[in-house]
A and B are shown apart, each in its own frame.
Chain A
Amino acid sequence: MSDVISSSFVRQDLLAERPAPVKTTGFIGLMRTRLFNSPTNILLTIVGALLLWFTIVPSVKFLMVDAVWSGKDRTACLAENAGFAVGACWPYIQAKLPQLIYGFYPEAERWRVNLTLLLAVVLLLPLLIPRLPAKSLNAGLFFVAFPVVAFFLLHGGGIKGFGLSWTAGLLQLFDESIVGAGQALLTSSRTSAVGPLLWVLGSLIVLLGTVIHWLIFPLTWLRDFIQGTGQPVWADFAVTAGIVCLIAFVLGGGVRTGGRALASSIATFIAIAIVIKLMDLDRGGLPVVTTNLWGGLLVTLVVSVTGIVTSLPIGIALALGRRSTIPLIRIFSIAFIEFWRGVPLITVLFFATYMLPLFLPGNFTVDGLVRALIGIALFTGAYQAENVRGGLAAIPRGQSEAAAALGLSWWKTTSLIVLPQGLRHVIPNLVNSFISLFKDTSLVSIVALFDLLGSLRASFADPKWSTPSTAFTGFAFAGIIYFLFCFGMSRYSLFVEHRLNAHRRN
């Protein structure tokens, strides 16, 4: 017993306190573990600190400390007048701010630009916050209604007819073109070696044109009648609204289920009527401001928003075409996508500026801004098509097979099952495309449009403000604006990505 007691050990006194473990959190811990834990790391830290010292400090000094904040012209920003080495020349930005934001948009009409921007923000913000409801209504308003309203707000002008007149006019143009092609074939059949064949083809086409002419005759007659009345816009509006509501009612399922479609189309037309009335579109609308007066941030935003709005449908159509089982459509989509993705945007803009006018009828002039917009829409559409295709490919086959088993048609399968899921997958990629589109809008300054960068470059030429620091100040200002937009979008894209991948996080 005593052996056991003697061999066992019972500590009689307390252990001396050990020092606390080395702190690995907080600022001190960070310094210890990530900055100064080894000789190499110390060296790297010094290199990093030197890099920051030679970039951040001079920029802050230039932008804030040495800057001149007020003045009337260049003399305020000269070193001999200021008494120190002058940094940023902010009065220059103050003087040029209207030009950098609105271009040469008339001063009295600038409230229209502000209103449009406000409208865009009001519509866009709820669209971006995932928690808010009514996304489809919101998206419809932003992608369809807003561009139209924005056009009449920014450009001004009114309308002379409505849906019926436009449809009739388009069909008539199409018909004339077909008859023209037939006539051309008929005339060339007299001299050609395969004359009879051409003659048959030509007469067939002319016959088709004549048939179409008689088919659309009621429409054109109605149009001429409406244009003869005292209130062409409202008469046309009423007729169009009636026809469209009727079609929606019938397509929606007639008396049994068509009530919903009827109600929504009536609501849409009432909204359109209110907009027309508010903006006086039937009586000439707002004063016209031609696009060569637009400039600055306004053009940058118009080009990028139009690009975003138009490229998405083009991209979806091309992506569906590329997956289509119909050979011709698939080949066409592949060729179209690869062509636009293979050439630089600047050549596309050159194409739109110099080549497109040659392809249109001679009496048909297209505005310079619209030409650039067409080029950008086609170019971005091809890129979006590849993004959308990635999303469509991510949907398991079972989804569309299940839809087919339920008896849904191709259109319903695509629009109700495949597209909504596929597009959700690729929202981050789409937003990334929008970022590069936003950056690429600066290229329109090369084809003589004055966007933010173009206006900035134009403002450098002003002798009233030419100082050694003018260029740096201008670039700093424009750079901050571009950075804010792009950085904001990229953060949003990260946020959405995080949200979509929430189930994969561990």
Chain B
Amino acid sequence: MSTEARKPPPQIALKIRRILGGKAGWNGVAVQFAFAAILGWIGYEIVSNARANLENQHIAAGFGFLRNNAGFDVNQTLISYTGSDTFLRVFVVGLLNTLVVSVVGIVFATVIGFIVALCRLSPNWLLSRVGEIYVEVIRNLPLLFQILFWYLAVLAALPNPRQSISLFGIAFISNRGLVIPSPIGQSGLAPFLAVLALGIVASLALRVYARRALFQRGQVIRIWPSVLALLFGLPLATMLVFGLPFTFELPQLRGFNFAGGSRIIPEFVALTVALATYTAAFIAEIVRAGILSVHKGQMEAGSSLGLSRGATLRLIVVPQAMRVIVPPLTNQYLNLTKNSSLAVAIGYPDLVSVFAGTSLSQTGQAIEIIAMTMGVYLLISLLTSAIMSVYGWRVSRSLGA
């Protein structure tokens, strides 16, 4: 006589409790209902108050205003824009300006940050003190203070365009901003770009092939001469055949201002310098901590295997340090992007300045405009954190394997 295992009782009540209240049980259900009621009440209050207030101020809610004419000018635009364009275009213009200043700032911040980190790690006592002073001074002053310092004190103290400071005769810096030569495309541009793209793709393919050969057959292939030829030799050869891809138009002083060349507005210069130097101090600390986090034994093990100092650094120390460095580094990039919103203090036309500033004061559509502005930044940071969690997952997988 065999006894079948009895089926467990259905326990519907338990399941409902679990679904509604999580692990906390009926208490959780009660708390959730109370919490939902409070949230609902707050939400109702907000909506009804906003509706009444908007009615009093005669503002029509909704995104219809985006199709209206903006009617104001923006002093730096990446896409064509005139005062008769719509508010939607203002939004795009501001967003592009934010992205431009962020990307340029990120590049400079990374370069300066790594240099300062190397200074701080240097065995030279004086240089490491200089790095430390830089980090301490920059980190302990507010960013807005630094932006205003560059804009109101340093850039304003520069001479006017007639006495502008010349950088090797090709770029000029004055209180009206930085004037640099502007590239003008010539007939050779299309083949040049095509060959350059081809060279990049071919060298990447070569690299993949070399790695595979190394890992599968243990064969070391030296690829750098061919990569060099692909990336520099080939474009040079095309230039000789098709002529120069572009020429530079040098800025020239005419009367009181410069003619030719492209002008970078002083707001952009001040904002980029401040953002780059400020974030660089934080990046320097991150890089330093990352490199110090690799145990000294790793370096010694590398040299006992007979690797050169450079090879040990490249193959053993840096990959391990990067694992520690990359997540906070991304965080700093995100911070820099968010901090670029301080542009509004000096009038650089970024998203907050032209959209949440000028457009808001013209239309009065506070709710829609601020929601859109916040949404953009929220989207950027959520995307970044999603990418970072994928990265973290891959790192932890590669460690586990």
In chain A, what residue has the closest Cβ to B54? A358
Q: Please encode chain A, from 37 to 75, with 1 for each CB lying within 8 Å of some chain B CB and 0 for all others.
A: 000010011011101100000000000000000000000
Query: Could you tell me the distance between the alpha carbons of A359 and B152 in the complex, rounded to whole angstroms?
Result: 37
Q: Considering the complex, give the chain B residue whose CB is closest to the CB of A479.
A: B141
Interface residues of A in 295-325 (CB under 8 A from B): 324-325
Q: Judge if B374 is at the interface, Cβ distance under 8 Å.
A: yes
Asked whether, in the complex, the Cβ of B344 is within 8 Å of the Cβ of A346, the reply is yes
What mask results when residues 48 to 85 of chain B are scored 1 for a CB within 8 Å of chain A, else 0? 11101110100000000000000000000000000000
Query: Does B123 contact A483, Cβ atoms closer than 8 Å?
Result: no
B229 interfacial contact with A, CB 8 Å: no
- Residues 118-151 of B, flagged 1 when their CB comes within 8 A of A and 0 if not, give 0000111111011000001101111111001100
Contacts between chains A and B (CB distance < 8 A), count: 172
Provide the residues of chain B in CB contact with A181, threshold 8 Å. Answer: 41, 44, 48
Which of B41, B127, B339, B382 is close to A342, meaning CB atoms less than 8 Å apart? B382
Tell me the dominant secondary structure on chain A's binding face.
helix
Judge if A328 is at the interface, Cβ distance under 8 Å: yes
Query: A325 and B23: CB pair below 8 A?
Result: yes
Q: Is the CB of A325 within 8 A of B344?
A: no
B367–A468 CB distance below 8 A: no
Query: Smallest CB–CB gap between B171 and chain A, Å?
Result: 21
B332 within 8 Å of A (CB atoms): no
Interface segment among A115-123, A139-147, A442-450: the answer is A442-450
B197 at the interface (CB under 8 A from A): no
Q: Given A325-B24, A355-B367, A453-B142, A45–B148 Cβ distance below 8 Å?
A: no
Task: Verify if B373 is at the interface (C-beta below 8 Å from A).
Answer: yes
Supposing A48-B130, A177-B41, A325-B28 touch, asked if A347 and B124 sit within 8 A by C-beta, the answer is no
Chain B residues with CB below 8 A from A342, complex form: 377-378, 381-382
Q: How far is the CB of A484 from chain B (nearest CB, A)?
A: 9
B273 within 8 A of A: no
Once the chains bind, are A350 and B142 in contact (CB under 8 Å)? Answer: no
Nearest CB of chain A from residue B97's CB, rounded to whole Å: 15
Tell me whether A332 and B39 are in contact (CB under 8 A): yes
Which residues of chain B have C-beta atoms less than 8 A from A178's C-beta? Answer: 41
CB-nearest residue of chain B to A178: B41
List of A residues within 8 angstroms of B342 by Cβ: 346, 443, 446
Question: A52 contacts B130, CB within 8 Å?
Answer: yes
Distance from A193 Cβ to chain B, minimum over Cβ atoms (Å): 20
Chain B: CB-nearest residue to A49? B126
CB-CB nearest in chain B for A36: B124
User: Is A360's CB under 8 angstroms from B49's CB?
Assistant: yes
Q: Are B126 and A482 in contact (CB under 8 A)?
A: no
A441 CA / B143 CA spacing, docked (Å) = 11
**Chain B residues with CB under 8 A of A490:** 139-140
CB distance from A124 to the nearest CB of B (A): 19
Interface residues as binary, A339-367 with B (CB distance below 8 Å gives 1, 0 otherwise): 10111101100110011011111100000
Give the residue of B39, B52, B122, B352 whose beta carbon is less than 8 angstroms from that of A350.
B352
Q: Given the interface contacts A344-B377, A347-B374, A359-B50, does A482 sit within 8 Å of B144 by beta carbon?
A: no
Closest partner residue, chain A, to B151 (CB atom): A471
B48 close to A184 (CB less than 8 A): yes
Q: Which chain A residues in 441-500 approach chain B with CB under 8 Å?
A: 441-443, 445-446, 453, 457, 460, 468, 471-472, 475, 478-479, 482-483, 486-487, 490
A-side contacts of B352, CB under 8 Å = 344, 346-347, 350
Contacts of B143 in A (CB 8 A): 439
Taking the closest CB of chain A, its distance from the CB of B167, in whole angstroms, is: 17
Complex interface: chain B residues within 8 A of A30 (CB)? 125
Is the CB of B157 closer than 8 A to any CB of chain A? Answer: yes
The answer to whether B32 and A51 touch across the interface, beta carbons within 8 angstroms, is: no
**Least distance between A424 CB and chain B CB atoms (Å):** 23
**A282 contacts chain B at the CB level, 8 A cutoff:** no
Q: If A358-B54, A443-B342 touch, does A45 touch B126 (CB 8 Å cutoff)?
A: yes
B153: Cβ under 8 A from any A Cβ: yes
For A48, list chain B residues within 8 Å (CB).
124, 126-127, 129-130
Q: Which residues of A contact B35 (CB under 8 A)?
A: 326, 328-329, 332
Residues of B contacting A330 in the complex (Cβ-Cβ under 8 angstroms): 22
Q: Is the CB of B170 closer than 8 A to any CB of chain A?
A: no
- A339–B22 Cα distance when bound, in Å, is 24
Q: A34-B125, A326-B22, A453-B142 are in contact. Are A343 and B374 (CB under 8 A)?
A: yes
Cα–Cα, bound, A346→B374 (Å):
10
Of residues B52, B126, B127, B356, which shows the largest number of chain A Cβ atoms within 10 Å of its Cβ? B126
Contacts of B122 in A (CB 8 A): 44
Q: In the assembled complex, which residues on chain B have CB atoms less than 8 Å from the CB atom of A341? A: 381
Report B-chain residues with C-beta under 8 Å of the C-beta of A106: none
- Answer yes or no: B205 CB below 8 A from chain A CBs: no
In this complex, what residue of A is CB-closest to B29?
Answer: A326
Residue of B nearest to A180 (CB): B48
A35 at interface, CB cutoff 8 A? yes
Alpha-carbon distance A339/B371, docked complex (angstroms): 12
Contact B127 A44 (CB under 8 A): yes
Interface string of B311-344 (1 = CB under 8 A from A): 0000000000000000000000000001101101
Partner of A445, one of B48, B125, B144, B152: B144
Q: List residues of chain B with CB within 8 A of the CB of A180.
A: 48
Instruction: Determine the chain A residues whose CB is within 8 A of the CB of B356 once the complex forms.
Output: 347, 350
Q: A460 to B53, Cβ gap below 8 A?
A: no
| Inter-subunit contact A453/B148 (CB<8 Å) | yes
Asked whether, in the complex, the Cβ of B344 is within 8 Å of the Cβ of A355, the reply is: no
Within 8 A of B (CB), among A348-397: 350-351, 354-355, 357-362
Minimal Cβ-Cβ distance residue in B for A326: B28
Q: State the Cβ distance, A404 to closest chain B Cβ, in Å.
A: 13
Residue B31 interfacial (CB < 8 Å) = yes
Once the chains are docked, how many angstroms separate the CA of A52 from the CA of B119? 14
Determine the chain A residues whose CB is within 8 A of the CB of B373 once the complex forms. Answer: 347, 350
Q: Are B345 and A446 in contact (CB under 8 A)?
A: yes
Residues of B within 8 A of A478 (CB): 145
Q: Which residue of B lies closest to A353 (CB)?
A: B366
Contact of A483 with B126 in the complex, beta carbons under 8 Å? no
Is B22 a contact partner of A325 (Cβ separation < 8 A)? yes
Is the CB of B213 closer than 8 A to any CB of chain A?
A: no
A-B contact pairs, 10 of them (CB 8 A): A34-B123, A45-B124, A47-B127, A177-B45, A346-B344, A347-B356, A358-B49, A362-B56, A439-B141, A442-B142
A contact set with B: CB distance below 8 Å? 30, 34-35, 41, 44-45, 47-49, 51-52, 177-178, 180-181, 184, 324-330, 332, 338-339, 341-344, 346-347, 350-351, 354-355, 357-362, 435, 439-443, 445-446, 453, 457, 460, 468, 471-472, 475, 478-479, 482-483, 486-487, 490
